[in-house]
Amino acid sequence: MTERNAAERGNEWPAGMKRTKQREAVLAVLERAEGPLRAAEIRARTGEDGAPVRLSTVYRILEIIVKKGMAVKLSILGGETAVYELNRFRHRHYAVCVRCRKIVSMDNCPMERFIPKLEDGDFRVTGHNLEIYGYCKDCDAAP
Ligand SMILES: [Zn+2]
Ligand SMILES: [Zn+2]
Protein backbone atom coordinates (compact mmCIF):
# COMPACT_ATOMS: atom_id res chain seq x y z
CA MET A 1 0.00 0.00 0.00
CA THR A 2 1.34 3.39 -0.86
CA GLU A 3 1.25 6.33 1.41
CA ARG A 4 -0.67 9.32 0.14
CA ASN A 5 -1.56 12.47 1.89
CA ALA A 6 -4.58 14.68 1.54
CA ALA A 7 -2.86 17.17 -0.75
CA GLU A 8 -1.84 14.49 -3.23
CA ARG A 9 -5.28 13.04 -3.17
CA GLY A 10 -6.67 16.41 -4.14
CA ASN A 11 -10.29 16.54 -5.13
CA GLU A 12 -10.84 12.83 -5.40
CA TRP A 13 -14.42 12.15 -4.46
CA PRO A 14 -15.67 8.57 -4.25
CA ALA A 15 -18.06 7.51 -6.96
CA GLY A 16 -21.63 7.20 -5.81
CA MET A 17 -21.20 9.60 -2.93
CA LYS A 18 -23.25 12.74 -3.14
CA ARG A 19 -21.26 15.89 -2.77
CA THR A 20 -22.84 18.18 -0.21
CA LYS A 21 -21.62 21.30 1.55
CA GLN A 22 -21.78 19.53 4.90
CA ARG A 23 -19.76 16.53 3.72
CA GLU A 24 -17.21 18.87 2.21
CA ALA A 25 -17.04 20.80 5.49
CA VAL A 26 -16.40 17.64 7.54
CA LEU A 27 -13.72 16.44 5.11
CA ALA A 28 -12.09 19.88 5.09
CA VAL A 29 -11.82 19.72 8.90
CA LEU A 30 -10.22 16.26 8.72
CA GLU A 31 -7.81 17.43 6.03
CA ARG A 32 -6.65 20.32 8.18
CA ALA A 33 -6.51 18.32 11.41
CA GLU A 34 -3.15 17.85 13.07
CA GLY A 35 -4.28 14.55 14.55
CA PRO A 36 -7.35 12.39 15.08
CA LEU A 37 -10.46 14.22 16.28
CA ARG A 38 -13.58 13.32 18.21
CA ALA A 39 -16.93 13.94 16.49
CA ALA A 40 -17.68 16.88 18.80
CA GLU A 41 -14.34 18.49 17.89
CA ILE A 42 -15.06 18.01 14.19
CA ARG A 43 -18.45 19.62 14.67
CA ALA A 44 -16.93 22.62 16.47
CA ARG A 45 -14.38 23.11 13.69
CA THR A 46 -16.99 23.03 10.92
CA GLY A 47 -18.21 26.28 12.44
CA GLU A 48 -14.93 28.03 11.63
CA ASP A 49 -15.85 28.50 7.95
CA GLY A 50 -19.58 28.91 8.25
CA ALA A 51 -22.55 27.47 10.02
CA PRO A 52 -21.57 24.48 12.15
CA VAL A 53 -22.87 21.11 11.03
CA ARG A 54 -25.24 19.49 13.53
CA LEU A 55 -23.60 16.76 15.64
CA SER A 56 -26.05 14.08 14.51
CA THR A 57 -25.25 15.03 10.91
CA VAL A 58 -21.52 14.91 11.63
CA TYR A 59 -21.94 11.36 12.94
CA ARG A 60 -23.90 10.36 9.86
CA ILE A 61 -21.31 11.88 7.51
CA LEU A 62 -18.46 10.22 9.42
CA GLU A 63 -20.17 6.87 9.11
CA ILE A 64 -20.47 7.32 5.34
CA ILE A 65 -16.92 8.50 4.73
CA VAL A 66 -15.50 5.71 6.91
CA LYS A 67 -17.51 3.20 4.88
CA LYS A 68 -16.15 4.77 1.68
CA GLY A 69 -12.61 4.43 3.00
CA MET A 70 -11.91 8.16 3.06
CA ALA A 71 -11.49 8.27 6.82
CA VAL A 72 -10.69 5.83 9.56
CA LYS A 73 -12.37 5.44 12.91
CA LEU A 74 -10.19 4.53 15.85
CA SER A 75 -11.31 3.39 19.24
CA ILE A 76 -9.18 4.69 22.05
CA LEU A 77 -9.24 4.40 25.82
CA GLY A 78 -10.37 0.82 25.66
CA GLY A 79 -13.18 1.58 23.22
CA GLU A 80 -14.63 4.32 25.40
CA THR A 81 -13.93 7.06 22.85
CA ALA A 82 -13.96 7.08 19.05
CA VAL A 83 -11.79 9.42 17.03
CA TYR A 84 -11.60 10.00 13.31
CA GLU A 85 -8.90 10.94 10.87
CA LEU A 86 -8.37 11.00 7.15
CA ASN A 87 -7.38 7.63 5.76
CA ARG A 88 -3.75 8.22 4.89
CA PHE A 89 -3.24 4.57 4.05
CA ARG A 90 -0.81 4.19 6.82
CA HIS A 91 -0.78 2.08 9.88
CA ARG A 92 -0.77 4.31 12.94
CA HIS A 93 -0.63 4.11 16.71
CA TYR A 94 -1.37 6.72 19.34
CA ALA A 95 -0.54 7.64 22.87
CA VAL A 96 -3.42 9.01 24.93
CA CYS A 97 -3.09 11.32 27.93
CA VAL A 98 -5.13 9.81 30.75
CA ARG A 99 -5.79 13.23 32.23
CA CYS A 100 -6.80 15.58 29.38
CA ARG A 101 -7.39 12.86 26.76
CA LYS A 102 -5.01 14.48 24.30
CA ILE A 103 -3.96 12.12 21.52
CA VAL A 104 -0.39 12.05 20.30
CA SER A 105 0.59 10.17 17.13
CA MET A 106 3.33 7.60 17.25
CA ASP A 107 5.79 7.58 14.38
CA ASN A 108 6.88 3.99 14.66
CA CYS A 109 5.31 0.63 15.24
CA PRO A 110 7.00 -1.58 17.84
CA MET A 111 5.12 -4.57 16.44
CA GLU A 112 6.70 -4.36 13.03
CA ARG A 113 9.45 -6.83 13.82
CA PHE A 114 7.55 -8.70 16.43
CA ILE A 115 6.59 -12.28 15.68
CA PRO A 116 3.86 -13.41 18.04
CA LYS A 117 4.29 -16.88 19.53
CA LEU A 118 0.84 -18.27 19.11
CA GLU A 119 -0.31 -21.64 20.34
CA ASP A 120 -2.14 -22.13 17.08
CA GLY A 121 0.74 -22.18 14.62
CA ASP A 122 -1.60 -21.83 11.67
CA PHE A 123 -3.11 -18.60 12.87
CA ARG A 124 -2.64 -15.91 10.22
CA VAL A 125 -2.09 -12.51 11.81
CA THR A 126 -3.57 -9.64 9.81
CA GLY A 127 -3.33 -6.79 12.28
CA HIS A 128 -2.93 -5.63 15.82
CA ASN A 129 -4.07 -3.05 18.27
CA LEU A 130 -1.80 -1.12 20.54
CA GLU A 131 -2.55 1.72 22.88
CA ILE A 132 -0.02 3.75 24.81
CA TYR A 133 -1.17 5.91 27.68
CA GLY A 134 0.36 8.29 30.17
CA TYR A 135 0.58 12.02 30.79
CA CYS A 136 1.11 14.63 28.10
CA LYS A 137 3.66 17.40 28.58
CA ASP A 138 1.10 19.87 29.97
CA CYS A 139 -0.47 17.43 32.41
CA ASP A 140 2.85 16.08 33.55
CA ALA A 141 3.93 19.60 34.49
CA ALA A 142 0.64 20.39 36.25
CA PRO A 143 0.60 20.14 40.05
ZN1 LIG B 1 -2.75 15.80 29.18
ZN1 LIG C 1 1.55 -1.35 14.60
Report the pLDDT value the prediction gives residue 4, as an integer from 0 to 100.
46
Q: What is the pLDDT of residue 91?
A: 75
CATH number of the domain bearing residue 43: 1.10.10.10
Kind plus residue range of the DSSP H or E element containing 96: strand 93-97
Provide block-wise average pLDDT over 10 residues at a time, the chain (143 residues): 44 78 93 90 89 93 90 81 83 87 83 79 79 92 85
Its domain, for residue 103, covers 91-143
CA 56 to centroid of ligand 2, rounded, Å = 32
The domain boundary, picked from 47, 70, 89, lies at: 89
Proximal ligand: closest to the CA of 134: 1
Distance 127 CA to ligand 2 centre (A): 8
Q: What is the pLDDT of residue 24?
A: 92
pLDDT given for residue 37 in this prediction:
92
Q: Which of 74, 89, 104 is the last residue before a domain boundary?
A: 89
**130 C-alpha to center of ligand 2: Å?**
7
**Per-residue model confidence (pLDDT) at position 8:** 47
- Centroid of ligand 1 to alpha carbon of 105 (angstroms): 14
Ligand 1 centre distance from Cα of residue 94 (Å):
13
- Which pLDDT belongs to residue 58? 96
Q: In terms of domains, do 1 and 68 share one?
A: yes
How much distance in Å is there from the Cα of 133 to the middle of ligand 1? Answer: 10
Distance 117 CA to ligand 2 centre (A): 17
Q: What DSSP element (H or E) covers 43? A: helix 39-46
Strand-pairing partners, residue 76, are 81
Cα 109 to ligand 2 centre (Å) = 4
Whether residue 65 sits in one domain with residue 133: no
Do 120 and 85 share a structural domain? no
Kindly tell me the sign of the dihedral angle through the C-alpha atoms of 23, 29, 35, 40: negative
6-17 burial, b if ≥16 CB within 10 A, otherwise e? beeeeeeeeeee
pTM above 0.75, yes or no: no
Residue 11 confidence (pLDDT): 52
CATH code assigned at 115: 3.30.1490.190
Beta carbons of 77 and 36 less than 8 angstroms apart: no
